[in-house]
Structure 1
Amino acid sequence: MTERIRPSSENPWYWSDGDEPIVLLGGTDKDNLFQWTGARLEDHLDDLVEAGGNFVRNTMSDRKDGDVPPFARNEDGTYDLERWNDDYWDRLAAFLDATAERDVVVELTLWDQHDLAGSRWDEHAWNPVNNDTLPEDSLPVTGGDHWQDRIAFFRTVEEDNEPVLTHQERFVDRVLEHTLDYGNVIYNVTNEGWAGIEWELHWAEHVSDRAEERGVHVEVANMNMNPGESVEKVVDHPDAFSYVEVSQHNQHFAGASGQDHWDTLQAWRTNVEDAVGARPFNNVKIYGGFDGGKDAAGDADQAVRWFWRNVLGGCAACRFHRQVAGGDEGWGIGGSERALTQIRSVRAIEQVVDFPALTPREDLLAAAAPDEAYCVADPGDAYVVYFPDGGDATLDVEAGSYRLRNLDAEAAAWTDEETVEVTSELSVNPPERPNQVVVLTAEP
């Protein structure tokens, strides 16, 4: 990257690595992407970049097959939290180099609570019975197998659990030693956070303080399980959280679908703008998997619709959530060909319009049913209308001569193009198939 990623001074709804606002798009098959090495990592990144992607997620997790932990082991197999496993950190360094070389922005999550869920805790390095560093009674565990049963680990700040907090900070400091030199990294404190504002503020401030000591400024957010809480905390703590992470809005369990998905996003944007000014809205996870997906996640068709409503709705960053080999895990469509095609489609539209220059304008649409069409526009210059399932609508357009194009987002291909003269209204009716986009641009 030419400069450190930051909110655009020209349009702070979006990110910038210079003067121009940019739209961040991604889709990858693994959340802790740094754990992949060599060609497996580089080929995956190359596929993303070739499609126009420039955004990935990276959790500092070590729970999947083939992952390595951050800590070294003793001869008896226990972990030593005061000695590092070089393989873990070498993988992180290689990942950072690979993304920086490709101008790919990394949203890095420090704590993923699913790492400690259920039976994973039994073998995890942080469990005092598995290391020779923490007092055995320092992290009491309640019964059950939900990730909130690891509550003691995420209460170290408010309970002043110094023995554990010291090593948590040591771990985060090691992450920051690697990442602060890279301008393509932004930070997310916790995945699906529930532990409370004390935990979230502690780590947000810790990251910012370490960055300041290094002489750099970084961007930090927190992702709550309830996306509305993420918005509220940016409003309440604007100095700690510099962008809004609303990923959980893109699934069934805590999110919304259809027109409600769009309307809620727009209400949040208004709230943030009124309270603290425009800030980037990120969606590092857009759920919805193949083969019907998980009940909580939704299916692949819904994933595509969430993606397009976010892009047109003014979000700064959108990434399709992970899939596994064969696409059978059900949480997302990741770096699949369908996901990459959607990214190509957005980039095709960007060849003729400047997305950050457009604003959501549902008021310009008439005769459209709820969830039938979504509009963004710079009136008199450009209009983009997304149809999730085909349909027709009447668009209120400033008088003039325009180039009218139809894009099939499932093929990343323009399907029709003509010049039209408009006096005040234009009927737009793309082909009756899913995910069609009508683009209207003023003729010179």
Structure 2
Amino acid sequence: MNPPPSASIFRGSLFALAALIVSPSTMFSEDTPPLALHPGNPRYFLLRNQPAILLTSGEHYGALLNADFDFETYFETLAADGFNLTRTFSGVYCEPNGAFKITRNTLAPTEGNLVAPFARSDSPGYANGGNRFDLTRWNADYFERLHAIMESASRHGIVVEFVFFCPFYNDAMWNLSPLNPNNHVDPLPQPENPNDLWTLDRGGLYLEIQERLIRKVCAELNRYDNLYFEVCNEPYQRHLPQDWHDRMAETIREAEAGLPNQHLISWNVANHGDGEDAIVHDPNPAYSIFNFHYSNPPDEVANNWHLGKPIGDNETGFDGQKNRPYRTEAWEFILAGGALFNHLDYSFAAGGHEDGTFEYPDKQPGGGNATLRKQFAALKRLVESCPIPKLHPVPDLVKSGVPKDARVQVLGDDTAHWLLYLTDTGIEKNVSLELDLPAGNYELQWIDPATAEPVKTETREHDGKAPLSLPSPALPEDLALKIEKRAG
């Protein structure tokens, strides 16, 4: 998007920016090309002819497979909060109630309410209620629901990440999978290890089922532009082989080769802290998006900058329930140059809380609430107020003044726009930052990320002969700064 007029940015609330940005629901149409890499800067996206980042605070990936989940209310909520992304699993993997200590887990449908891509047979005995599956026949109700989800997401300006597969973390997940021979009527052997399904040398006939599912979904969804594919969620958690993963990505490309549209493909590379495994070398050219989980601090952005493609932080959690850790994770990641951020928000639950109002218990392994979503939305609007294709990390802008143990991220275009985020365990006093800015007249706005409100606005003239000294307001946790050079 083009940046709004500079004067408007510094009048009143940051939320005034929303009126200057085209509503996603009016932007979106099935007649435009699908989500793509931006031709001027392939580290960001082109979404319906507009430069974009993808940012959301979404449910735990069960909107499609959980029959109880009201996706229409969910998308209405995401759109109202200003988000443009959701992540959904295909239905070959689901979770039991209580998995990972999650209460009201959307990936854990209640008895009889799993919506899978395969038709039910006439034979009873599925582990979570209802008849067993017939892997040779498609479930018409599943694809009807899938199209309804895609169309609703499109109306609300939401890109859908469709995730085909997921390793089985333990036997409880395998026991619920439609692919488990106990849950279907097809003459397929019980694998020695359930995760052998995701291998080329031991997958056997299950590989044919996986590839057939990919071809079917690609054909069904080809017309949608608000879509990209992810091969597998967290393949590294059970050491799934890369040759299998690449084969599935190539199957997606082959399935779409003769179709009108070709969609981006994501590789979920690693969790933060996985060392060398979190640095990508010579990836298969099928991949266009490189997603990580729990990227805090955002080392994965700089470590994979050589790829020249969008880098995402696609899952958060296991860092308490307070807003601060996840707010910091989002602001740092995006201002480090990331193009995608997806917070796992446990306030979304099936059965009446698809509007993000579920009050989860203390044991829930993450957070999410309306206040946190407001903080994320402020970040998204701030980035959208800048010329996105020209943005890149500017780590050398701050010459001094960063408090000990604090971290600073700077995103800018080198000429007229800079965004700065400073986080610390507690910035109790003013700090004075020394910024290496070119000569010019500047509009400066300090923002409290916790309230999403500006706390100090000023104009400064700078001769460029020495770093510009900027005293900050005192904030207890973190602060952001928008710098804009005035024309003339």
Match of 1:296 in 2: none
Q: How does 1:268-287 map to 2 (within 5 A)?
A: 268-269=304-305, 271-272=306-307, 278-287=308-317
1:42 partner SS: helix
The question of 1:195 aligning with 2:240 is answered yes
Question: How far off is 1:69 after superposition?
Answer: 2.5
Question: How far off is 1:39 after superposition?
Answer: 8.7
Change (3 A) 1:387 1:355: farther
2:373 partner SS: helix
The question of 1:101 aligning with 2:155 is answered yes
1:362 partner SS: coil
CA distance in 2, matches of 1:9, 1:25: 20
Q: Tell which deviates more after alignment, 221-230 or 65-74.
A: 221-230
Question: How far off is 1:108 after superposition?
Answer: 1.4
CA distance in 2, matches of 1:422, 1:327: 50
Write 1 or 2 for the structure with the bigger share of helix.
Answer: 1
Greater RCO, 1 or 2 (C-alpha within 8 Å, sep 6+): 2
Question: How far off is 1:354 after superposition?
Answer: 3.0
Match of 2:118 in 1: 71
The question of 1:381 aligning with 2:416 is answered yes
Number of matched pairs: 407
Change (3 A) 1:205 1:433: same
Question: How far off is 1:433 after superposition?
Answer: 2.3
Match of 1:267 in 2: 303
Aligned residue among 262, 268, 290 for 1:244: 290
CA distance in 2, matches of 1:118, 1:229: 29
Match of 2:140 in 1: 86
Match of 1:353 in 2: 386
2:314 partner SS: strand
CA distance in 2, matches of 1:313, 1:212: 34
Match of 1:320 in 2: 343
Match of 1:221 in 2: 266
Match of 2:217 in 1: 175
Match of 2:192 in 1: 140
The question of 1:154 aligning with 2:198 is answered yes
Question: How far off is 1:102 after superposition?
Answer: 2.0
1:438 partner SS: strand
The question of 1:50 aligning with 2:50 is answered no
The question of 1:426 aligning with 2:469 is answered yes
Letter in 1 for 2:192: P
The question of 1:28 aligning with 2:71 is answered no
Q: Tell which deviates more after alignment, 173-182 or 402-411.
A: 173-182
Indicate conservation of the 8 Å contact 1:222/1:230, yes or no.
Answer: no
Aligned residue among 405, 410, 414 for 2:445: 405
Change (3 A) 1:263 1:164: closer
The question of 1:302 aligning with 2:325 is answered yes
Change (3 A) 1:19 1:29: closer
Question: How far off is 1:348 after superposition?
Answer: 4.0
- State the TM-score, normalizing by the size of structure 2: 0.77
Indicate conservation of the 8 Å contact 2:63/2:69, yes or no.
Answer: no
- State the TM-score, normalizing by the size of structure 1: 0.84
**Structure 1 regions of 5+ residues with no counterpart?**
142-149, 251-256, 273-277, 294-298
Match of 1:144 in 2: none
Question: How far off is 1:280 after superposition?
Answer: 1.0
Indicate conservation of the 8 Å contact 1:104/1:184, yes or no.
Answer: yes
Indicate conservation of the 8 Å contact 1:374/1:386, yes or no.
Answer: yes
Change (3 A) 1:16 1:135: same
Match of 1:145 in 2: none
Indicate conservation of the 8 Å contact 1:407/1:413, yes or no.
Answer: yes
Question: How far off is 1:356 after superposition?
Answer: 4.1
Question: How far off is 1:439 after superposition?
Answer: 1.0
Question: How far off is 1:41 after superposition?
Answer: 1.4
Question: How far off is 1:9 after superposition?
Answer: 0.2
Change (3 A) 1:338 1:118: farther
Identity of aligned residues (%): 20
Q: How does 1:363-378 map to 2 (within 5 A)?
A: 363-365=396-398, 366-368=400-402, 369-378=404-413
Q: Tell which deviates more after alignment, 99-108 or 324-333.
A: 324-333
